[in-house]
A and B are shown apart, each in its own frame.
Chain A
Amino acid sequence: MQKKILIIEDEPTLQKVMTKMLQDEGFEIKNALDGETGLLVASEFNPDLILLDLILPRKNGFEVLDQLKQNEETKAIPVLVLSNLENSQDIQRAVSLGAIGYLVKSNYDIENIIKKIKEVIN
Chain B
Amino acid sequence: MTEKFLESFNFKKQCEQYGISLWQCPSFIFLSVGLLNCASLITAYFVGQKYNQSPELLISIITALSIFLFILGHGLSSGFRKIAETNKSKIEFVSIASHQLKTPLSSIRWLLGLILKDQENLSTDTLSYLNDIRSSNERLIKLVNDLLNVNRIETGELSFNPQEVDLITVIQENIAQFLNLITASNIKINFDYPPEAKVWCDPEKLNLVLQNLIENAVKYTKKDNQKHQINIQIENEEDKWKVSIKDQGVGIPKQDQPFVFEKFFRSNNALRQQTIGTGLGLYLVKSIIKIAKGKVGFLSQEKEGSTFWFTLPRAKE
Contact = CB atoms under 8 A, between A and B. Distances in A.
Given A11-B107, A13-B107, A105-B106, A110 B113 contact: yes
B99 A14 contact: no
B90 to A, nearest CB: 20
A84 interface: yes
Interface string B89-108: 00000000001001101110
Given A84-B103, A106-B102, A106-B141, A17 B110 contact: yes
A84 B100 CA distance: 9
B102 A84 contact: yes
Contacts of A21: 113-114, 117
B159 A14 contact: no
Chain A interface category by residue count:
20 to 34
Contact of A111 (B99, B103, B105, B113): B113
A14 B103 contact: yes
Nearest to A91: B159
State the majority secondary structure of interface residues on B. Answer: helix
B174 to A, nearest CB: 15
A11 B113 contact: no
B161 A88 contact: yes
Contacts of B295: none
A106 B159 contact: no
A96 interface: no
Contacts of B107: 11, 13-14, 17
B161 A110 contact: no
Contacts of A107: 141, 145
B110 A110 contact: yes
B266 interface: no
* Most chain A CB inside 10 Å of its own CB: which residue of B105, B107, B109, B110: B110
B113 A109 contact: yes
* Most chain A CB inside 10 Å of its own CB: which residue of B106, B107, B109, B114: B106
A50 B183 CA distance: 41
Interface string A76-107: 00000000111111000000000000000111
B111 interface: yes
B114 A20 contact: yes
Contacts of B145: 106-107
Nearest to A24: B117
A9 to B, nearest CB: 10
Interface in B97-135: 99, 102-103, 105-107, 109-111, 113-114, 117
7 contacts: A18-B110, A84-B99, A84-B106, A89-B159, A106-B105, A109-B109, A110-B109
Interface of B: 99, 102-103, 105-107, 109-111, 113-114, 117, 141, 144-145, 148, 157, 159, 161
